Structure 1
């Protein structure tokens, strides 16, 4: 998981962490734990992030 790339994509598209948490249906603390690698994003959450951010592929962010 590349936290910096995810944050960069979110910033470029104007998606706040709060908005992302709302869209994913998770708490802010859960989002931070996942970004820090303390737990993992589920496949469904990754798919939702790709859709929210209009990414072509999740590979660069989630599978480095």
Structure 2
């Protein structure tokens, strides 16, 4: 099974427009959330289906697939 994680070294919310993670909009199941602008997004790994849709949206490549 694969899951998606946030690479904290690559995730730079201040580089995203208005500090808003656009990848959070790509998750139909709302697994990826950003509580406030300019904060790192978080992933609910128990809900993540591993579809990896969000990994294609992040312009910084901060969302990565891991095997579980």
TM-score, normalised on structure 1?
A: 0.40
Which structure dedicates a bigger proportion of its chain to helix? Answer: 1
TM-score, normalised on structure 2?
A: 0.39
